[in-house]
Amino acid sequence: MNFHVILDPDSSSHEVRELGLLAESYGFDAVWTSNYPSSRDPFINLCPLALASSKIRLGPLVVTPYELHPYKIAKALASLNELCGGRANILTGGPTGVNATMGMDFSRMVGRTRECVEILKQVNPDEALNYEGDIYQVRGYRPSWATDEPPFIYIGANKKQMTHMATGIADGLMLGDTTEQRLGSSLRLIEENLESHGRRRDDLQVSCLVAWHVKEDKALSSGEAKRYLALRGMLDIWFLETFLDEDECRIVDQNRGNIFTAYKQKTDVIEGVPDEIVDKLVDNLSMSGDYDDIDRHIDTLLRYCKMGLDEVAFKLHEDQAAAISVIGERILPVLRSR
């Protein structure tokens, strides 16, 4: 199993460099910058790390064809890939919070993502790219300087249509904030779709985002996890119904605005949602607790590995250096020895 870290969107380029080098020193496989509505540019934020690092892969997520034409994404990605000597990743997919900031709709999600990935994968230093899609066109793009190993292209997918498309063309697929039950069904769906495309399981790297809130102090862990609950799978009922009953799902749905308010105001007080439901959300949509809980999380990751998951991308928030150190010292050695 490979291990990635996804850095907090408030991280500066200097912090990204230092955190990325720390992750590299522990043997992490990749580091990602987050692309949020008010974050720094995720490509530029990686440039100091690209120049300073030697082994770790790096890339931005999520960069969508809603906010940038795939041609512009291709130029930025190829430039980053040159800086790091062919170690660039990218995660693209459907609409994000950036859409709302730009006042854009969510139309043709699967088609836009498919054409974007087709363009990214057809970039060639030896031959001009002429692409005529239903949505996007590129004419005469030939970066003769882009001679490094091509970037690794991930698509973010959880549901059926996006999964079917992604399994046909992507290098990797990243699941987001999934529960263990949904992970199992998603992996089965991925294998079925790969077969329909005539691809093997080894042809696709499957990753899963896991929110990491483990701290030395359990109360600090709980508070952080509650503050960021709004981001966990966007509280999609499809995830929630695997561990909440119908009435509990309804309470969460009715108080969705309060959960987002807690996130925006950086508070762990969530109005309208009983503590026992909040605790269930934290326990099932993240890895939290103190250091005594690490063995329990290792057991979960071992089950994920046995189910067929190839990668875990730990989503970090506060105290990122400490989180990288704990995972690097306590998690990676155990899982890589099994």
Same domain? 278 vs 144: no
Residue 149 shares a structural domain with residue 252: no
Give the per-residue pLDDT at 218: 96
For the chain, strand residue ranges (E) read 2-6, 30-34, 57-61, 89-92, 129-132, 137-141, 152-156, 172-176, 205-211, 311-315
Same domain, 199 and 264: no
Please tell me what DSSP assigns to residue 69: -
Whether residues 278 and 182 share a domain: the answer is no
Q: What is the CATH number of the domain that holds 86?
A: 3.20.20.30
Which one of 258, 285, 312 terminates a domain? 285
CB 319 within 8 A of CB 215: yes
Note whether 50 and 22 are same-domain residues.
yes
Boundary (domain end) residue, out of 242, 263, 285: 285
Written as six digits, the tokens of 149 are 């190993």
pLDDT value at residue 237: 92
What range defines the domain where residue 246 resides? Answer: 229-285
Give the end-to-end CA distance of the chain in Å, rounded to a whole number. 10
pTM, whole model, 2 decimals? 0.95
Does 266 lie in the same domain as 330?
no
The count of domains in the chain is 2
Q: How many other C-beta atoms can be found within 10 angstroms of the C-beta atom of residue 258? A: 16
Residue 39: what pLDDT? Answer: 94
**CA-CA distance, 329 to 292, in Å (whole number)?**
14
What DSSP assignment string belongs to 236-300? -HHHHTTTS-HHHHHHHHHTHHHHHHHHHTT-S--TTS-HHHHHHHHHHHSB-S-GGGHHHHHHH
Q: Among 265, 285, 305, which residue terminates a domain?
A: 285
Answer whether residue 202 is part of any domain.
yes
Shared domain check, 135 and 20: yes
CB-based contacts of 161: which residues, under 8 Å, 6+ apart?
110
Same domain, 13 and 54: yes
Q: How far apart are CA 196 and CA 258, in angstroms?
A: 42
In a shared domain, residues 168 and 207: yes
Is 242 a member of any domain? yes
In a domain, 223, yes or no: no
Counting as low any pLDDT under 50, the low residues of the chain are none
The pLDDT, as a whole number, for residue 56 is: 98
Same domain, yes or no, for 65 and 116?
yes
Please indicate, yes or no, if residue 224 is contained in any of the structural domains.
no
Residue 22 inside a domain? The answer is yes
Say yes or no: 163 and 256 in one domain.
no
Q: In the beta sheet, which residues pair with residue 132?
A: 137
Q: Are 207 and 91 a contacting pair, CB within 8 Å?
A: no
The reply to whether 128 and 262 lie within a common domain is no
